[in-house]
A and B are shown apart, each in its own frame.
Chain A
Amino acid sequence: MLSAIVAITTLAAVFGLLLGFSAVRFRVDGDPIADQVEALLPQTQCGQCTFPGCRPYAEAIVRGEADINQCPPGGEATIRALADLLDREPKALNPDNGAEKPRVLALIDEPRCIGCTLCIQACPVDAIVGAPKQMHTVIAAECTGCELCLPPCPVDCIDLVPADDGIAAWRWPEPDHGA
């Protein structure tokens, strides 16, 4: 009886020590520069930079595989911040990745929604709630306006509306250049 208790306790202690030691020995230091770059990105996870999300793009910038001007949602402000951080010359947004637009939100036209869940699967930030054959809706506070939910929708019931960011972000509507 005593030998059993001692043996198992010793074994557990040995495994604990081994794991504790290897936790220290194998500690993974994150890439601090990639963390800083990621903090500057807008976290829309939209993939317009051609990378699957903001974190992979940040890592690609640090590795030198991507330029700093591939983020349309961040626009000029993000490019400047990145240029400051990495001590590079700021440059214009790469038009291949898209154009800078005011921040938008996805809005589901609920009577037309058929409850197919395709947009839920496409949403990179889980901002859409709903269940099969039930109406879906967008959580406005979570939506990043990445537009990834538009292509999969079979009934085109998702619209993009300008985000209401409060009085601080309000600006005059652009003048009408039309005829």
Chain B
Amino acid sequence: MVNEYALLLVGTVLVNNFVLVKFLGLCPFMGVSRKLETAGGMALATTFVLTLSSVAGWALHKWLLVPLGLEYLRTLTFILAIAAVVQFTEMAVKRTSPLLHQVLGIYLPLITTNCAVLGVALLNVQEDHGLVSSALYGFGAAIGFSMVLVAFAAMRERIAAADVPVAFQGAAIALVTAGMMSLAFMGFAGLVR
């Protein structure tokens, strides 16, 4: 049992990485990776929200949609739940830890539109996960996202100082780098499942 959960976690973080293998959550991956600090803030905020909304999505699906036979309303319901969780998180964090709120600040509301968050909730349903696997799946996805985002931001900071040909400057070299990272992560394929 524990072994299965560990495999799920490793599988989500490395093998089926949400950004580099499933290509979800690319907007924050490109958008906030210009500086290491902002990337760290975004990673923290996403980890928190992704885990929470993954569980919330599972609970809503199991106890509201399935009993009423409304599975076709998944997307609408999950978006509703994610938006509410994000707003609630922001208020709670602002109250309990102003310091953390200063760090995460503008990134919290941005997460509402992060497709990885909706993706995790929908994949949970598709793969028929239980409560613990849902939470682990969300957490693993978030850890994978954070790791890749921070690593990518570190690389972009170095690229900013490198002598890049004019035609490749800016977003072009960033996308090339992201593609190479994705290729590198294909090396993990076959580690689990």
- Write the residues of chain A forming the contact surface with B, with a CB cutoff of 8 angstroms: 3-4, 7-8, 11-12, 15, 18-19, 22-23, 26-28
B99, CB-defined interface residue at 8 Å = no
- Interface contact B64-A18, CB-CB below 8 Å: no
Residue of A nearest to B83 (CB): A15
State how many angstroms separate the Cβ of A92 from the closest Cβ of chain B. 33
Nearest-CB distance from A33 to chain B (Å)?
A: 16
Least CB distance from A62 to B in Å reads 14
Q: B residues bordering A, Cβ < 8 Å? A: 60, 64-65, 68-70, 73, 76-77, 80-81, 83-84, 87-88, 91-92, 94-95, 98
Selected from A3, A11, A26, the residue in CB contact (under 8 A) with B92 is A26
- A31 CB to nearest B CB, Å: 10
Q: Which of B77, B88, B98 sits near A11, CB closer than 8 Å? A: B77
Where chain A touches its partner, the secondary structure class is helix
Are the CB atoms of B84 and A15 closer together than 8 Å?
yes
Q: How far is the CB of B81 from chain A (nearest CB, A)?
A: 7
Q: Are B73 and A19 in contact (CB under 8 A)?
A: no
Chain A residues near B69: list those with CB within 8 A: 3
Q: B60 to chain A: which residues have CB within 8 Å?
A: 11
Whether the pair A18, B88 counts as a contact (CB closer than 8 A) is: yes
Among B70, B92, B94, B95, contact of A4 (Cβ-Cβ < 8 Å): B70
- Cross-chain contact A8 with B94 (CB below 8 angstroms): no
Cβ A8 vs Cβ B73 within 8 A:
yes
In contact, A19 and B87 (Cβ under 8 angstroms): yes
Q: Do B92 and A12 have beta carbons less than 8 Å apart? A: no
Asked if B88 and A19 make an inter-chain contact with CB atoms under 8 angstroms apart, the answer reads yes
| A11-B64, A15-B80, A15-B81 known; A22-B73 Cβ under 8 A | no
From A3, A7, A23, residue with most partner B Cβ within 10 Å: A7
**B85 to chain A: closest CB distance in Å?**
9
Contacts of A28 in B (CB 8 A): 94-95, 98
A27-B91 Cα distance, complex, nearest whole Å: 8
Q: Nearest B residue to A26 by beta-carbon distance?
A: B95
Contact of B70 among A3, A12, A18, A26 (CB under 8 A): A3
Decide if B91 touches A22 in the complex (CB within 8 Å).
yes
Query: Do A7 and B81 form a contact, CB below 8 Å, given A18-B88, A19-B88?
Result: no
Complex Cα gap A3–B98 (Å): 42
Query: Nearest Cβ in chain B — how far from A89, in angstroms?
Result: 31
- Starting from the known contacts A7-B73, A15-B84, 16 additional A-B residue pairs (CB-CB under 8 Å) come to A3-B70, A7-B65, A7-B68, A7-B70, A11-B60, A15-B80, A18-B84, A19-B84, A19-B87, A19-B91, A22-B91, A23-B91, A26-B91, A26-B92, A26-B94, A27-B95
Residues of the A chain whose Cβ atoms lie less than 8 Å from the Cβ of B70: 3-4, 7
Residue of B with least CB distance to A12: B80
Residue of B nearest to A4 (CB): B70
CA distance A22 to B86 in the complex (A): 13
